[in-house]
Amino acid sequence: MSPRRLLLALVSALLLVLVPTAASAHHPGPDRTPTLLVTGLSGGWGSEVGPDGALYVTSPAAGVISRVDPRTGAVTTFASGFPSNNGSGVTDVTFLHGTAYALVTFVAPEVGGTGVNGIYRIDGPTTATLVADLGAFAAANPPPTDFFVATGVQYAFDTSRGGFLVTDGHHNRVYRVGLDGSIAVQITFDNIVPTGIDVHGRTVYMAEAGPLPHLAADGKVVTFGTWSDSATVLAAGGPLMVDVKVERGRVYALAQGDWPLGGQAGSPAAPDTGRLLVANRHGGFDVLASGLDQPVSFQVLRGTAYVVTLTGEVWTVRLGGHH
């Protein structure tokens, strides 16, 4: 995928608004049929389970992080006022030592914004402090792969060793970031489009969307150590892979779906083709739920997957024996 095509694809996904439909259940049994829990969010992107056991979901266009009660689906605004630029902005949220942090991307002046790409500490409902300027670092340390936006397109992050690991889907690399604002490149990849990331102990699991046309063979989950500079493929077979989670020894992954035949650069996955997957022992994935409509992130909580869609919905999938 060319840098311009990758950029268009990511931004188009942020701007996408489609009418959701109920998920198909031809793959999973009735107990795994996706169930709608939340609708009406101002778009959806990254998510996290907070220290209180609630689900936190980012809405980039609105500059908002919402708190979702996983039992009732009740939604309240947790934090707001993040920089936004034509539908992009706060793309992920995580917690370190009980404090919430937000990842903001594609808001720099070079792409028409007025903000700073980086990690922000959430200090209150409408206040946040910039901890690390990822855009400035990316611009000062360009990647070896082709790129179009100097400040990069940071996609997701997770806590690691008292700091953070951040994927950059445009610059094809992972950053290590400290609470003191220090930034270093941990791993540089070829054009594989890193997306979701999950740190589990000393092992990092990362999703790869792969270049256009996002073939299933290019949708992978890879692993590496928290200080490693190379990765190993764990499983492949998810078209446009966007997220990964590890729970009780199982590796779950989320594929946004099939690339439309003849689709142009920037097109999203075809409607209702998203899949929740679990890695098997043969280097591939088994389908747990299919027919999801443009899913973008998920969490696993008490044996249930909570899947966030670009349209601002949250669907639940019971994992049954796979939790």
Look up residue 182 and give its amino acid.
S
Name the 3-class secondary structure at 4. helix
CA-CA-CA-CA torsion sign (257, 252, 231, 204): positive
pLDDT by residue, tens only, the chain of 323 residues: 444 444 444 544 443 332 222 233 334 344 689 999 999 999 999 999 999 999 999 999 999 999 999 999 999 999 999 999 988 999 999 999 999 999 999 999 999 999 999 999 999 999 999 999 999 999 999 999 999 999 999 999 999 999 999 999 999 999 999 999 999 999 999 999 999 999 999 999 999 999 988 899 999 999 999 999 999 999 999 999 999 999 999 999 999 999 887 666 556 788 899 999 999 999 999 999 999 999 999 999 999 999 999 999 999 999 976 55
Lookup: tokens for 55: 């689900």
* Phi, psi (deg, nearest 5) at residue 125: -60, -30
Helix, strand, coil percent content, the chain, rounded in steps of 5: 10, 45, 45
Domains recognised in the chain with CATH numbers = 3-322 (2.120.10.30)
Query: Tokens 């929740």 sit at which residue?
Result: 276
Measured at the alpha carbon of residue 82, what is the angle toward residues 79 and 88, in degrees to the nearest 5?
120
Q: At CA 197, angle to CA 92 and CA 204, rounded to 5?
A: 145
Element (H, E) at 135: helix 134-140
Residue 114 neighbours by CB distance under 10 Å = 10
Q: Cα dihedral angle (166, 315, 263, 146), rounded to 10 degrees?
A: 0
- Helix, strand or coil for residue 13? helix
* pTM across the whole model: 0.91
The pLDDT assigned to 267 comes to 66
Inter-CA distances, 276 with 20, 87, 156, 266, 270, Å: 17, 26, 18, 23, 15
Helix/strand/coil for 155: strand
DSSP state string for 203-272: EEEEEE--STT--GGG-EEEEEETT-S--EEEEE--TTEEEEEEETTEEEEEE--PPPTTPPTT--PPTT
